[in-house]
């Protein structure tokens, strides 16, 4: 029997339609159908100047807009030859807000995943804690989810006075809450039974499909672009790269993917603490500091092809640019979505599972359809 899951089903994480071939309750084949949220990002980018595309970048992965902005501005700055010339305080602020947004994204992924499997209470706890992050980012940028905060060459504005202190209060508050969440949900016996040994993604299969991010690291490969490419000020910061170890089942199963995201939030808190230490220490605010000092008035790169990638909460987010050297509008802007590649492996890891386990597998991938469809 062929049934459709979605595109309105609450467990498909957006307008995703899955065409499922069933034999009783056993899944024989899954075909994802995408395109329901297609908004022509790349065509918009080919019609607008580089700096006016940033609000459209926000709307790809709208759960982690700061991370998408970071990848985009790094790409344009590389074409302009500004890499390494950005003020240090700007770089630390960028990493700070990106890691805050990474935690917010992983919280949504974890809370929604628990809800998929029947755990209702953790979702409310997670939304409560995520609200603190959204309010801080709104305080900094003026927007709640779609920020337009990182500009090419700098920032929209410096952090508000008192932001560093408030952020440190949040980190101190959130660390025990994260431990509580891990005990309540991730180590819960029912959650473990629903996710351990389900949807096992072998490391070689993950590499062959171009899977990146927490999903790849859960399969046992310690690959994180913050370490591999060492962009921005990440090489100066100390943090670990968690990988799946099969603690509750098999390496690369659904439980490992949830576990890696919890561990990544712990590491992001370490990074935030280090950034706050630098922003209140050797990179303390001054009256002379202008985060827009390096923002170019006219953005017209030399004729070239350029690809830059960064580690978003969902995986490798990359932007390919082709500049003709004559215009301040890119000839081509291609977005490489981590969600798109991660979703592509779904048919391989879903054959032979129960239909209830299919829901668990889809939730463990953590996709945002705005970035899949673009």
C-alpha–C-alpha distance, residues 20 and 1, integer Å: 8
**pLDDT tens-digit profile of 187-244?**
999 999 999 999 899 999 999 999 999 999 999 899 999 999 988 899 999 999 999 8
The DSSP element (H or E) to which 59 belongs, if any, is none
Contact call for residues 349 and 200 (beta carbons, < 8 A): yes
Residue-range domains of the chain with CATH: 38-373 (1.10.645.10)
Count CB atoms within 10 A of the CB of residue 180.
12
Q: What number is the average pLDDT over the span 290-303?
A: 86
Closest CA to 198 of 80, 266, 281, 113: 113
Chain mean pLDDT for the chain: 90
Q: So what's the pLDDT on residue 291?
A: 83
Q: What number is the average pLDDT over the span 126-141?
A: 93
Q: How far is CA 332 from the centre of its chain?
A: 24
Q: Give start and end residues of each alpha helix (H) in 142-184.
A: 163-181
What is the model's pTM? 0.93
Provide the phi-psi class of 253: left if phi over 0, else alpha when psi is between -120 and 50, else beta: beta
């Amino acid at each position: 029997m062929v049934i459709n899951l979605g595109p309105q089903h609450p467990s498909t994480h957006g307008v995703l339609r899955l065409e499922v071939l069933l034999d009783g309750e056993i899944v024989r084949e899954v075909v994802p159908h995408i395109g329901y949220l297609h908004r022509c990002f790349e065509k918009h980018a080919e019609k607008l100047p580089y700096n006016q595309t940033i609000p459209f970048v926000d709307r790809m992965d709208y759960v982690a807009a700061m991370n998408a902005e970071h990848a985009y501005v790094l790409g344009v700055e590389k074409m302009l030859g500004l890499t390494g010339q950005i003020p240090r305080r700007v770089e630390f602020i960028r990493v700070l807000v990106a890691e805050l947004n990474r935690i917010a994204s992983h919280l949504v992924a974890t809370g929604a995943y628990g809800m998929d499997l029947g755990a209702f209470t953790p979702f409310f706890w997670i939304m409560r804690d995520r609200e603190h992050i959204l309010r801080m980012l709104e305080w900094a940028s003026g927007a709640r989810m779609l920020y337009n905060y990182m500009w090419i060459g700098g920032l929209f504005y410096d952090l508000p006075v008192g932001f560093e202190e408030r952020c440190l209060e949040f980190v101190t508050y959130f660390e025990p809450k994260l431990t509580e969440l891990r005990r309540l949900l991730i180590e819960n016996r029912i959650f473990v039974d629903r996710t351990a040994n389900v949807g096992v993604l072998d490391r070689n299969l993950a590499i062959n499909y171009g899977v990146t991010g927490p999903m790849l690291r859960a399969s046992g490969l310690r690959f994180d672009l913050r370490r591999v490419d060492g962009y921005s000020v990440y090489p100066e910061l100390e943090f670990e790269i968690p990988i799946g170890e099969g603690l509750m089942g098999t390496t690369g199963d659904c439980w490992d993917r949830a576990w890696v995201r919890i561990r990544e939030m712990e590491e992001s808190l370490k990074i935030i603490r280090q950034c706050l230490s630098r922003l209140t220490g050797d990179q303390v605010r001054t009256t002379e500091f202008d985060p827009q000092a390096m923002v170019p008035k006219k953005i017209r790169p030399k004729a070239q092809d350029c690809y830059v990638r960064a580690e978003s909460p969902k995986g490798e987010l990359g932007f390919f640019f082709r500049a003709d050297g004559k215009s301040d509008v890119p000839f081509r802007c291609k977005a490489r979505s981590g969600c798109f590649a991660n979703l592509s492996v779904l048919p391989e890891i879903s054959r032979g599972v129960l239909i209830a386990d299919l829901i668990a597998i889809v939730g463990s991938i953590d996709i945002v359809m705005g970035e899949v469809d673009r």
